[in-house]
Structure 1
Amino acid sequence: MAESTKVLVVHHTVSISTAAVHEAALQGLGIEELAEVEAVSLPALTAGAHDTLTAHGIVLLSPVNIGYLSGALKHYFDQVYYPCLEATKRLPFAAVLHSGSDASGALRALEAITTGMEWTPVADPLVVEGEPDAGVREQISELASTVGAHAAGMM
């Protein structure tokens, strides 16, 4: 049996707004065109190297805490950095950050970590402020669909 295409959704959902971001990302991976893509959604505190090594794409979802990535997402990167450094080069990914204010520190950290891992961004990071409305949820879904399409070799 052939290995299925997997997109790992690593998330830290701590509020209604971040849960809405997570739901929108999963909806984007659940479209008919991506029927062969399996979305594997794991909290950032439990996702690890094995999950990352078996993924064909990654969607990162994090609140911005005190101007930085959530501690949970930083923990995820701490767990996977060395075990995945060589094997996941060019892994397609995209990120959504939920922020109440300035996300520039979180964006810098995200870029530094993913550049160091040599992952391939397939969409610009999306920064969401406040409760995501229908238009923002659509943007999140499209971002996740883009990762899924790249993971499946459609783009």
Structure 2
Amino acid sequence: MTRDREDTQATPDGTALTLPHLVKWVEMAVRARTERALRDLPVSGTQLFVLVLLRERGEATSADLARMMHITPQAMTTLIGPLRDGGYIDRRVDTTHARRLLLRLTPDGAAMIRQARSLTPAIEDDLLDGFTDEERVVLKKLLGRIARRFE
């Protein structure tokens, strides 16, 4: 018995897939398509997400960003180094806690976000090929509800 490609609710042996498995598959597809779309830009999809977080949050420490992205502080250090070197973010000493360094988006970082955003419709169209406009809206709303719970 062959499995219908659209039946992502079960494995070939009929075992039901869990929501975490489905989300992971989607995450891998999103990451692959995003990296492919951004290949000509000097930042990765993950680095772009750091820039977006800084745009939304204003300023943050690298430890704060690591917590938001559910990665280790060491991994965050690896991500932000090239962003600082490229002039997309800068840092300053926190005036209330002199030992803390706050990262913030630069004008070049904001321009990079705008440039990458111009590629977003093609990524979404690829991922959501075959979905109706209504299904796209519903999916975005539902994913947004889940995402807000973990901000």
Q: Which one has the bigger strand percentage?
A: 1
Q: Which one has the bigger helix percentage?
A: 2
Structure with larger Rg: 2
Q: TM-score range by the shorter chain?
A: under 0.3
Q: TM-score normalized by structure 1?
A: 0.26
